[in-house]
Structure 1
Amino acid sequence: MSKNAVANRYAVALFQVAKQKGTLTETQEQLRTVQQAVKENPVFSEVLGHPKVTAEKKKEIFKSIFGKAVSDTVMNTFFVLIDHRRENVLLEMIDDFNKHSNEDQGIAEAKVYTTKAISEEDINTLTSGFAKKLGKKQLRVENIIDPELIGGIKIRIGDRIYDGSVKRQLQRLERQLVTGNVRR
């Protein structure tokens, strides 16, 4: 079975339990905390994947790091991953859980690339406009500062990219000039 299919099975199981308990939002926040910690500490991933570190030791490590930050349900999910030697799908499982949870709650995740941080007011304007356009209740925005942008904004929502950057507009103009299709 592929790594993605395995991750999705665990994600679906956790999603169903969290939904049944009414803790989708809390579980998603807890998993984000774990995901960020794992991504920021590559040594943690190495320890988790190391074959000479016993399952019990891995559980101890998880419990000492995340014991107070996550619910028993989330902790037990980690323990099941460890018991079945599936620690390598942890990050994919969290991504899959987020997709299921967001879909269920009518939320879309957006990455907004700008030259400088955007204000809360601008985020709210983007959120309301794009959420309606996508048929979602809410848009969760992550603002990423991209020094390569000359100006403007670029938004990535799932596999869609809305590019209103100056760089993109200049490329479009250049293409029109080269092909002789300049609008008057």
Structure 2
Amino acid sequence: MSNQAIANRYADALFQLAKEKNILEDVNQELQVAKEVAQSTPEFTQFLTHPKVTNAQKQEFIQKSFGQTLSETSLHTFYLLVDRKRMDILIPMINKFQALAYEAQDKAEALVYSAQPLSEQEQQQIAMVFAKKVGKSQLVVKNVVNPEIIGGIKIRIGDRIYDGSVKAQLDRMERQLIAGTR
């Protein structure tokens, strides 16, 4: 069985438990914090996957690192991953859990690429307009600054891309000129 399939099973089990306890949003936020720590600190994952470190040491490390931030449900999920030597699926599990949680809450994540950082008001405007286009009640906007865009914005929601960037328009014009259609 692939790691992604295993991650999906753990995420689904955690999702069902969080939904049953009515703490879906809290668990999702906790897991996003843990994901950020794991991605920004490679030593974190190395320690938790190292074969010479005992499970008790790993669990103590998790307790000290996240004890105050994680709910009992999330903490026990991490302990289970340690016991089953599955900490390598932490990030895919968190990603799948977020997808399940957003689907249950009728939300979607929108990655908005722009040349300059967007203001909070601009992000809210984008969320309001594009939530209707994709049939969701709410969009969670994450702004990614990319100077190559030159101007405008590029939005990715799931597998849909809305590209209103200057770079995309210049690329289209270049293709048309090369093809001789203009």
What TM-score range do you get, normalising by the shorter chain?
over 0.9
- Measured after TM superposition, the shift of residue 178 of structure 1 is 1.6
- CA-based RMSD of the aligned residues comes to 0.8
Amino acid at match of 2:113: Y
Q: How many residues align?
A: 182
CA distance in 2 between partners of 1:128 and 1:147 (Å): 25
Q: Deviations over 1:8-48 (max 9, x none)?
A: 11100110010011101000000011000111111011111
- Partners of 1:59 and 1:102 in 2: how far apart? 29
Deviations 1:55-101 (A, max 9, x none): 11110000000000000000000011111111110111100100000
Partner of 1:157: 157
Q: 2:98 aligned with 1:102, yes or no? A: no
Separation in structure 2 between the aligned mates of residue 128 and residue 121 of structure 1, nearest angstrom: 11
Kindly provide the amino acid, as one letter, of the partner of residue 101 in structure 2.
S
Matched, 1:55 2:59: no
Residue 30 of structure 2 corresponds to 30
Aligned partner of 2:14 in structure 1 is 14
Contiguous gaps of at least 5 residues in structure 1: none
Give the equivalent residue in structure 1 for 2:2. Answer: 2
Distance 2:26 2:10 in 1: 17
Q: For 1:36 and 1:61, how far apart are their aligned partners in 2?
A: 17
1:45 alignment partner AA: T
Query: SS where residue 155 of structure 1 aligns?
Result: strand
Question: For residue 15 of structure 1, what is the amino acid of its counterpart?
Answer: F
Counterpart amino acid of 1:4?
Q
1:45 corresponds to 2:51: no
Overall identity of the aligned pairs, in %: 48
- The C-alpha deviation readout for 1:130-175, integer Å capped at 9, x for no partner, is 1111110100011111121211111111122111111110010111
Q: What is the TM-score with the length of structure 2 in the denominator?
A: 0.98
Letter of the aligned partner of 2:152 in structure 1? G
**Residue type of the partner of 1:63?**
Q
Aligned-pair distance for 1:180?
2.1
Matched letter for residue 140 of structure 1: V
Residue 146 of structure 1 aligns to which amino acid in structure 2? N
What TM-score, normalized to structure 1?
0.97
Structure 2 counterpart of 1:134, one-letter code = V
Q: Which runs of 4+ in 1 moved over 2 A?
A: none
